């Protein structure tokens, strides 16, 4: 194993890919937390949250295949939630983790739903970050348009500007330093000191050509009926709307919804509202 970053590890997927993860606070008791990132992002988005929680819980963060330090999949059709979830079960089995709390941002939240549908007894609770079983078509169109199609950049200043161009409308109040920080988590100098977006461009192809996951998403969501769920909602989101949230409440009346002001898709999990919701959730789940 190559320790590129502290607590870095790899495991091998069932089809032979090297998948990267980090392990924080392994000495702690209580149900471990696993953090699953959004479509074009990676585990580095959870560094601050993992460090924040690691004095109380064991926290695992993962690069889905095709992102970050994980191998790219030569079969691009594998870029979908069922494959990602299969990788997560492989990791949890390797670590002998029988039950887990899932923090899922966007795509990661969809994967949490699939996990509950497949092995409900192993999902102790879910924090869904700005995602539901239904996705607003306007948001899908926006994400489909740019995913895997971003122009190459030559400098970190260009990487930060591109990050601002993509996310700025949904993250009002962030300054240039904040967008540089986001860029540092989404780009990486793989060679020749030029930052490159740290994901396989074929992920965009999968989004556009494979389409939605198989099965009724509301039926998949129903697997969380008896599972504690907290929903973080970026109130400016074009992915998760108020109408969708009302449907989620009707399907699961005990869901806890926490609006996050001045955030669209997605909250960054460092906001006071987000941290308070996460703290409250973890206090209630052993």
Q: Buried b vs exposed e over 103-117: b needs ≥16 C-beta within 10 Å?
A: bbbbbbbbbbbbbbb
Give the closest residue to 22 by CA, choosing from 33, 38, 6.
6
The string of DSSP letters for 135-167 reads --HHHHHHHHHHTTTPPP-SSHHHHHHHHHHHH
* CA geometry: angle 255, 41, 155, nearest 5 deg: 145
Domain that holds residue 266: 8-136+215-284
R_g (Cα) of the chain, nearest Å: 18
**Average of per-residue pLDDT across 95-123:** 97
212: confidence class by pLDDT, cuts 50, 70, 90: low
Q: Please report whether residue 152 resides in a domain.
A: no
Supply the CATH number for residue 38's domain.
3.40.50.1820
- What does the alpha-carbon distance between residue 141 and residue 162 come to, in Å, rounded to a whole number? 19
**Average of per-residue pLDDT across 217-227:** 96
**Average of per-residue pLDDT across 182-201:** 93
At residue 28, the pLDDT reads: 82
Q: Please report whether residue 120 resides in a domain.
A: yes
At residue 215, the pLDDT reads: 76
Phi, psi of 248 (to 5 degrees): -65, -40
Q: Please report whether residue 159 resides in a domain.
A: no
pLDDT at residue 163 greater than cutoff 60: yes
By the 8 A CB rule, do 50 and 22 touch? yes
Q: Please report whether residue 272 resides in a domain.
A: yes
Range list of H helices, the chain: 47-53, 81-94, 107-118, 137-146, 156-167, 176-186, 202-210, 217-221, 242-251, 272-284
Q: Please report whether residue 193 resides in a domain.
A: no
Helix (H) or strand (E) holding 18, with range, is strand 18-24
Q: Please report whether residue 169 resides in a domain.
A: no
Phi, psi of 187 (to 5 degrees): -115, 160
Q: Please report whether residue 100 resides in a domain.
A: yes
| β-sheet bridge partners, residue 18 | 12
Helix (H) or strand (E) holding 234, with range, is strand 229-234
pLDDT for 24-43, tens place per residue?
987 888 999 999 999 999 99
At residue 148, the pLDDT reads: 84
Q: Please report whether residue 183 resides in a domain.
A: no
**Against a cut of 0.85, is the pTM above it?**
yes
- Strand 229-234 versus strand 8-12 pairing type: unpaired
Task: Please tell me the total count of domains within the chain.
Answer: 1
Which tokens is 18 given?
A: 């090297």
């Amino acid at each position: 194993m190559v320790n590129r970053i502290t607590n870095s590890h790899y495991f091998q997927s069932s089809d032979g890919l090297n998948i990267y993860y980090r392990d924080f606070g392994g000495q702690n008791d209580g149900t471990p937390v696993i953090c699953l990132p959004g479509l074009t992002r990676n585990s580095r988005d959870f560094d601050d949250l993992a460090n924040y929680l690691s004095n109380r819980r064991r926290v695992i963060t993962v690069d889905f295949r095709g992102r970050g330090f994980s191998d790219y999949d030569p079969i691009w059709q594998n870029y979908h939630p069922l494959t990602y979830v299969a990788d997560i079960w492989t990791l949890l089995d390797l670590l002998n983790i029988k039950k887990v709390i899932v923090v899922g941002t966007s795509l990661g939240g969809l994967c949490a739903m699939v996990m509950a549908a497949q092995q409900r007894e192993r999902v102790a609770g879910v924090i869904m970050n700005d995602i539901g079983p239904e996705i607003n078509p306007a948001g899908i169109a926006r994400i489909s348009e740019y995913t895997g199609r971003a122009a190459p950049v030559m400098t970190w200043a260009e990487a930060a500007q591109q990050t601002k161009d993509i996310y700025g409308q949904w993250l009002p109040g962030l300054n240039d330093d904040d967008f540089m920080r986001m860029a540092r988590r989404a780009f990486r100098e793989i060679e020749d000191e030029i930052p490159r977006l740290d994901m396989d461009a074929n992920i965009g192809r999968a989004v556009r050509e494979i389409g939605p996951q198989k099965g009724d998403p509301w039926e998949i969501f129903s697997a969380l009926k008896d599972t504690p769920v907290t929903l973080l909602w970026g109130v400016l989101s074009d992915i998760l709307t108020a109408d969708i949230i009302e449907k989620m409440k009707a399907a699961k009346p005990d869901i806890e919804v926490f609006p996050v002001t001045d955030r669209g898709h997605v909250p960054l999990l460092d906001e006071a509202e987000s941290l308070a919701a996460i703290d409250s959730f973890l206090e209630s789940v052993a």
